[in-house]
Structure 1
Amino acid sequence: MNQPLISFRRIDHASWTVAELEPVIAFYNRVFGVTAVYAMGPLDAADMGRDEQGRDWTDTHLGIPGARIRLAMLQFPDGFKLELFEYQKPLGSSTAPLPGNHIGSHHLGIEVDDLEQAAGVLLDNGCTVLERIELDSGPTAGSSFRYFRDPWSNIFELCRHTPSSL
């Protein structure tokens, strides 16, 4: 194994932007059992200082000048953290997450004990669940997967691994 150039410890969190924090937090709490670690904002660039080059805080640190944001850090029962951003200004040009074939799109994989039970819960809670993927050969042989979109079109993947697979 190559020696990394960065002294890597662990993944701290993943993040994505949503239109409104509260309904997403409530849904993720109800369906996935997340807890809110903290929430911040609104934080408005107009109320923050400027750096030596005259850029406002959100331009300097987020690359988005003149932003007004709210954010929340959520924690899943296993300790994984997901940070949600809500940009109140400037509004982005898209109203839904990118489909999976776009550079920069994302999905979050969640390992579950019972793929079909989890899919049923998701369907009952307004998610779009795609067909099951069964793999009988290759590096993930014995695993099953189902992609789904939450009510805001964020992409997830249910994962079920047998003891002999991943």
Structure 2
Amino acid sequence: MTRSHGRGLPGLAGVEHVGFTVPDLEAATRFFTEVIGCELVYTLGPFRSDGTWMADHLNVHPRAVMQRLAFFRCANGPNFEVFQYESPDQHPVPPRNSDVGGHHLAFYVEDLEVAVAHLRAHGVTLLGKPTESTGPSAGQRWLYFLTPWGMQLELVSFPQGKAYETSLDQGGGGGVRLWQPELPDHSQQ
């Protein structure tokens, strides 16, 4: 059955994966599995082309080589497709949020303080201290941190929900609720 809302992509079901490039796939695999807790599902590669396939299909330099890629499953949310490339025109510094193309990955955690302590114990660079959001995001706490190669990540937690949800519960706010992870029910323990 094709889903259609009268606008956008016909059949859109959600975000299947987020892809990003790292300088060292082995080191990134250790970080995502041992520190974050993702599961490595599979790897493949290398891929290269003597023609223009890489430029035509992936918008990278024609002589770029995708050394390897790995797919990770990180609890409840989109999968990660993580690449290691070699390219004559490669820019080795990750973009900041303020750069065009800047981005970050946010991990929802049940207890922000416990997760922050875990990152500290693993020597992860934390950016500032946990921050409490205001406005429609009130009820949310968050903290940015960096991977060993400088990619920006975030911890986020809002166990009691966010302020904007109150208007939804009262029939306002356009009726759209942001995606949230399904948390385990600990009440039976």
Match of 2:121 in 1: 124
Name the aligned partner's letter for residue 57 of structure 1.
Answer: W
For 1:147 and 1:87, how far apart are their aligned partners in 2?
26
Name the aligned partner's letter for residue 34 of structure 2.
Answer: R
State the aligned residue count: 155
Q: CA deviation at 1:126?
A: 2.8
| Contact residue 126 and residue 150 of structure 1 kept, 8 A | no
Runs of 4+ in 1 over 6 A off after TM superposition: none
Match of 1:52 in 2: none
Structure number with higher relative contact order (C-alpha < 8 Å, ≥ 6 residues apart): 1
TM-score w.r.t. structure 1 length?
0.85
Q: Work out whether 1:3 is the aligned partner of 2:6.
A: yes
Q: Call closer, same or farther: CA 1:159–1:17 in 2, change over 3 Å.
A: same
Match of 1:38 in 2: 42
| Contact residue 71 and residue 83 of structure 1 kept, 8 A | yes
| Contact residue 110 and residue 159 of structure 2 kept, 8 A | no
Q: After the TM superposition, which residues 68-83 of structure 1 pair with which residues of structure 2 at under 5 Å, given as runs? A: 68-69=65-66, 70-83=68-81
Which stretches in structure 2 are left out of the alignment for 5+ residues? 166-189
Q: CA deviation at 1:151?
A: 1.1
Q: Secondary structure at the match of 1:16?
A: strand
Match of 2:55 in 1: 59
What RMSD, in angstroms, separates the aligned Cα atoms of the two structures?
A: 1.7
Name the aligned partner's letter for residue 5 of structure 1.
Answer: G
For 2:56 and 2:118, how far apart are their aligned partners in 1?
42
Q: Work out whether 1:151 is the aligned partner of 2:148.
A: yes
After superposition, the C-alpha distances for 1:93-114 in whole angstroms (9 at most, x for unaligned) are: 2x22111110101101111111
TM-score w.r.t. structure 2 length?
0.75
| Contact residue 133 and residue 145 of structure 1 kept, 8 A | yes
Q: Which of residues 17, 27, 32 in structure 2 aligns to 1:28?
A: 32
Match of 1:140 in 2: 137
Q: Secondary structure at the match of 1:6?
A: coil
